Amino acid sequence: MLPADLDLSRVPEHVACVMDGNGRWATQRGLKRTEGHAAGEAALLDTVEGALELGVRWLTVYAFSTENWRRPVDEVKYLMGFNESILVRHRDDLHSKGVRIRFAGRRDWRVPRRLLRQMDISAEMTKDNKRMNLVIAFNYGGRAEIVDAVREIVRKG
């Protein structure tokens, strides 16, 4: 429900969110880190709903950074499956709401093939949607972007 005094003409076209701190949030409350990630899922869905309600055209969420590969192996495996599960469980609903799902970040050997396949299915399914673009930055990082840009410059001579 939007506040009556909200000026919709001042809503930005693009909003970006860094989804960080879910594990710390859970730990501070004596919960398992995985419970923090589950709470993060609910917050993400609320954010998407709010952005749709406000008419935000682009919402970028930073879901997994290149630095996250340094986490314990078990946590990384959990996060890969968790992110895949979120995508599969919510893409039909997002599609029905007119959300176009896109991805930014490296598609390298570390990302499980089954997750890449689900990313491709989601992007293809929603490619013609126009209400909002949801960009999921996955395996994305500032340092990696700089490295990739320099490599491309060198490649071009």
Nearest to 34 by CA among 85, 105, 92, 70: 85
Question: Among residues 22, 68, 93, 108, which one is catalytic?
Answer: 68
Residue 22 appears among annotated catalytic residues: no
Residue 20 appears among annotated catalytic residues: yes
Question: Among residues 20, 93, 108, 148, which one is catalytic?
Answer: 20
* Strand pairing category for 14-18 and 132-140: unpaired
What type of residue sits at position 112? P
Contact 22, 71 (CB under 8 A): no
Q: Whose structure tokens read 């996250």?
A: 68
Burial code (b: 16+ CB inside 10 Å, e: under 16) for 108-131 equals eeebeeebbebbeebeeebeebee
Q: For residue 38, how many other CB atoms are within 10 A of its CB?
A: 15
Active-site residue list: 20, 68
